[in-house]
């Protein structure tokens, strides 16, 4: 656990080859950026990164490599992702000079009405986090096949082969993943979990070889039978029977009718850089809203880690998250005012509400768990930013018979109050936390990146952009620098912010800054909460090379060739 404890407290390691932070003089990077000209991959597990590189070297493109890495991560990091979860991606296609967005999130069961759901949960005021009720359609596999059908070069059998091989032969479990796997062992009280993920009732330890032959068999069915094997074939039938047996509502019909959606990414310009996110039902535009508010402050005169930096960031986050709680939802059910929310004029109005002291709460401006992230870039300058999750760690705990994976619990994020944008309804996509990001400069790729960790994600996105644009950090420093995390905002599930929430700061912020923040009525904690896990690939157009980054809070690795 030595490495985990170092990661948890955000220890900042000096690196002799990395320039000190231009503002504070403190070295933030834990390692140099990885630099390569032919291809680059950054994931949260080193073996998955190597799978992506192998796919690139064998003639696959960035999309093929991302699918292969994601399938491998579903095996090696089931604490954050898998075939039972959802997927989102932003893809840069160099030949077309265009960004594509994919929403591969699943919908709630059509047979489960709000009335039935409220009857099932009884006196509870929220949807349970575990068991059959929060299970929604897994969108991941359809996402893979959509990406592959539109952009892939290799066959899906070739892309899935590395994960199949590792599932059969086994892989050594890495340190941080072993820690979270052990914390998830309590899920053995749910059907199928122990047989799938535990051995003799225990989670695998660091370095232990783990095999998942059931997952290998499932992946082989996809390799030979294609997408429909999951949504209309034997896998769908197994899921249907399993859910019926254990009191769930997800059905064969729900799976058979599922489809992903290609969407237009949404952007704002932050000091000359175009930052791109996907529209709701995800929370990506919260990062754009935060950046728009923060752009009104002159950070050339504000030091990194200063009282002003933290204060303005936290208040901008509070403003964006009030809108997030009430105005982000499945766009098929509610027309979220995205254009207005990400406008500069709206940001200027909201900025006026920020004073020199912390606000205990803001009103909505318009009254109308764990995850994996990966990014890959290829020799043809195509890039993909992909994020995938079960929601709460290993998901609902419900593991269908013999399939080797756990179903997600994303349905927990619906609001049970009728009449709101994110209110529960049959066949509806819940509010989503997982968000990929992309930055362009003058119409060219600049950075493909993401930050894992629930509500941390838009906060992390905004901080990565600020660290590079405002504070002059490189791609590695931007991820390793100590983070600001605000919790306690109003939620899409209906909870209201109380007493201004709480600000948690990683080690590295000066004690004097903490004292000044308290004077401004911020409630502070140190090193508490999920500070996320960042991966990024920057494209250096001048030298025509990639610079890869993988931060120290995860087991991950950036690698290129």
Give the residue numbers marked as catalytic.
371
Element containing residue 87 per DSSP (H, E): strand 86-93
Burial string for 85-122 (b: 16+ CB within 10 Å, else e) reads: bbbbbbbbbbeeeebbbbbbbbbbbbebebeebeebee
Instruction: Map tokens 């407290």 to a residue.
Output: 9
CA dist., res. 164 & res. 350, Å (int): 51
Other residues' Cβ atoms within 10 Å of the Cβ of residue 17: 8
Answer yes or no: are the C-beta atoms of 156 and 148 closer than 8 Å. Answer: yes
* Residues whose CB is less than 8 angstroms from the CB of residue 443 and which lie 6 or more positions away in sequence, other chains included: 97
CA dist., res. 2 & res. 180, Å (int): 15
Whole-number CA gyration radius for the chain: 22
Burial string for 307-320 (b: 16+ CB within 10 Å, else e) reads: bbbbbbbbbbbbbb
Exposed / middle / buried, residue 328 (Cβ in 10 Å: 0-12, 13-18, 19+): buried
CA dist., res. 400 & res. 405, Å (int): 7
Bridge partners, 99 (sequence order): 92
CA dist., res. 298 & res. 512, Å (int): 22
CA dist., res. 401 & res. 395, Å (int): 16
Give the chain's largest Cα–Cα span.
63
Q: Beta 533-540 vs 545-550: how paired, if at all?
A: antiparallel
CA dist., res. 321 & res. 436, Å (int): 18
Q: In sequence order, what DSSP letters do the residues of 36-81 get, joined into one string?
A: ESS-EEEESSHHHHHHHHHHHHTT--HHHHHHHHHHHHHHH-TTT-
* Residues whose CB is less than 8 angstroms from the CB of residue 41 and which lie 6 or more positions away in sequence, other chains included: 49, 52, 53, 56, 65, 69, 374, 375, 376, 377, 537, 548, 558, 559, 560
Q: How far from 162 is each of 43, 73, 172, 273, 558, CA to CA, in Å? A: 15, 11, 15, 37, 18
Give the residue among 383, 391, 387 at the shortest CA–CA distance from 414. 391
Answer yes or no: are the C-beta atoms of 382 and 62 closer than 8 Å. Answer: yes
CA dist., res. 47 & res. 234, Å (int): 30
């Amino acid at each position: 656990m030595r490495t985990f404890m170092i990661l948890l407290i955000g220890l900042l390691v000096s690196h002799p080859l990395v320039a000190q932070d231009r503002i504070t003089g403190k070295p933030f990077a834990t390692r140099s950026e990885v630099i390569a000209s032919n291809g680059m991959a950054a994931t949260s597990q080193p073996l998955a990164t190597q799978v992506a590189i192998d796919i690139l070297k064998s003639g696959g493109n960035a999309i093929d490599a991302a699918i292969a890495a994601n399938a491998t991560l579903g095996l090696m990091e089931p604490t954050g992702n898998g075939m039972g979860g959802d997927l989102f991606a932003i893809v840069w296609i160099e030949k077309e000079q265009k960004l594509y967005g994919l929403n591969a999130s699943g919908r709630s069961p059509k047979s489960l009405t709000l009335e039935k759901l409220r009857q099932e949960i009884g006196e509870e005021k929220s949807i349970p986090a575990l068991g059959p009720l929060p299970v929604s359609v897994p969108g991941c596999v359809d996402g893979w096949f959509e990406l592959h059908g539109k952009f892939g070069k290799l066959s899906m059998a070739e892309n899935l082969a590395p994960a199949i091989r590792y599932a059969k032969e086994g892989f050594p479990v890495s340190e941080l993943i072993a820690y979270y796997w052990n914390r998830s062992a309590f899920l053995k009280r749910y059907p199928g979990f122990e047989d799938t993920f535990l051995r003799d009732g225990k989670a695998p330890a660091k370095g232990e070889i783990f095999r998942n032959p059931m997952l290998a068999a499932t992946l082989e069915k996809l390799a030979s039978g294609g997408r429909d094997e999951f949504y209309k074939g034997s896998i769908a039938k197994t899921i249907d029977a399993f859910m019926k047996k254990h009191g769930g509502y997800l059905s064969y019909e729900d799976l058979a009718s599922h489809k992903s959606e290609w969407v237009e990414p949404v952007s704002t310009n932050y000091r000359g850089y175009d930052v791109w996110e996907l529209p709701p039902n995800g929370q990506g535009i919260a990062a754009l809203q935060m950046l728009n508010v923060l752009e009104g402050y002159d950070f050339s005169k504000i030091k990194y880690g200063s009282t002003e930096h933290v204060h303005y960031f936290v208040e901008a986050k509070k403003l964006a998250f009030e809108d997030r709680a009430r105005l982000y939802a499945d766009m098929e059910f509610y027309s979220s005012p995205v254009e207005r929310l990400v406008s500069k004029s709206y940001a200027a109005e909201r900025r006026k509400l920020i004073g020199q002291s912390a606000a205990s709460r803001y009103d909505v401006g318009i009254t109308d768990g764990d995850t994996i992230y990966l990014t890959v870039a290829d020799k043809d300058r195509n890039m993909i930013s992909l994020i995938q999750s079960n929601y709460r760690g290993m998901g609902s705990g419900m593991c269908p018979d013999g399939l080797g994976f756990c179903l997600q619990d994303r349905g927990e994020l619906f609001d049970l109050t009728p009449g709101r944008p994110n209110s529960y309804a049959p066949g509806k996509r819940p509010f989503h936390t997982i968000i990929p990001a992309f930055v362009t400069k003058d119409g060219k790729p600049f950075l493909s990146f993401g930050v894992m960790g629930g509500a941390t994600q838009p906060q992390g996105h905004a901080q990565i952009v600020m660290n590079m644009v405002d504070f002059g950090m490189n791609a590695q420093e931007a991820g390793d620098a100590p983070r600001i995390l605000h919790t306690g905002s109003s939620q899409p599930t209906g909870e209201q912010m109380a007493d201004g929430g709480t600000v948690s700061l990683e080690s590295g912020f000066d004690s004097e800054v903490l004292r000044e923040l308290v004077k401004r009525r911020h409630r502070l904690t140190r090193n508490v909460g999920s500070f996320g896990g960042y991966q990024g690939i920057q494209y250096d157009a001048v030298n025509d090379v990639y610079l890869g980054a993988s931060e120290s809070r995860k087991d991950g690795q950036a690698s290129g060739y």
